[in-house]
Amino acid sequence: MTNLKIARMGHPVLARPALPVQDPTSPRIRRLVEDMMETMKTASGVGLAAPQVGVPLRLVLFHIPAGRRRTEDAEEYGDPTEGVPLTVLINPQIEPLDETVVAAFEACLSIPGMTGLVPRHHRIRYRGVGLDGQEILREAEGFHARVVQHECDHLDGVLYPMRMSDLTTFGFADEIRLRYAPGPDAGG
């Protein structure tokens, strides 16, 4: 496994739409995923999209640690986020399940050191294909839904600042932590 270089905001690979994966079960895709897993682990991220490692394909991976509390879950929506094991999602599609939109702080491995308050759909359904070629179909809410939306945005050249409605909440994470609690977590 190889720890890959992560493209940072401004690199053209992050700005253009990624292409569908033709054969999710191919050895080339499996190798890419192994390298992305290593890269995500090294960077302490919760998610990573293929364009972030310079590969313009529609593939993301993420994991949601159990019990993680976010402002949106703890304050308004009760239970802490349920854990989700490491998931590889190829050619994903997302649909919102209702109109509820919640703002929470996000960070991104391609925008190191920064954070911002990003409105996202609270409940979504997402589908895609796994490395075994089998369909994945899930409903998600809260932090889980947020991570999936963040990662899938990378496949369309969208970075979280482009989703922000109030840029006064965008800034360096260590400065923002002085104003808001709890602090933002590692992004994807």
At a CB cut-off of 8 Å and minimum separation 6, what does 114 contact?
107, 108, 170, 171, 172, 173
Query: Which pair of tokens denotes residue 26?
Result: 């191919």
Choose between 128 and 188: whose C-beta lies nearer to Ni ion: 188
CB of residue 23 to Ni ion, shortest distance in Å? 26
Q: Which of 34, 82, 151, 175 is catalytic?
A: 151
CB of residue 108 to Ni ion, shortest distance in Å? 3
Query: Which pair of tokens denotes residue 154?
Result: 């990378």
Q: Are 19 and 90 in contact (CB under 8 A)?
A: no
Catalytic (active site) residue 135: no
Where do runs of H (alpha helix) occur along the chain? 27-42, 71, 142-154, 173-176
CB of residue 154 to Ni ion, shortest distance in Å? 6
Q: Which residue is nearest to Ni ion (CB)?
A: 108
CB of residue 3 to Ni ion, shortest distance in Å? 17
* Residues at the interface with Ni ion (CB under 5 A): 108, 188
First to last CA, the chain: 19
- How is the beta sheet containing 101-106 ordered, strand by strand? 101-106, 114-121, 171-172
Residues serving a catalytic function are: 151
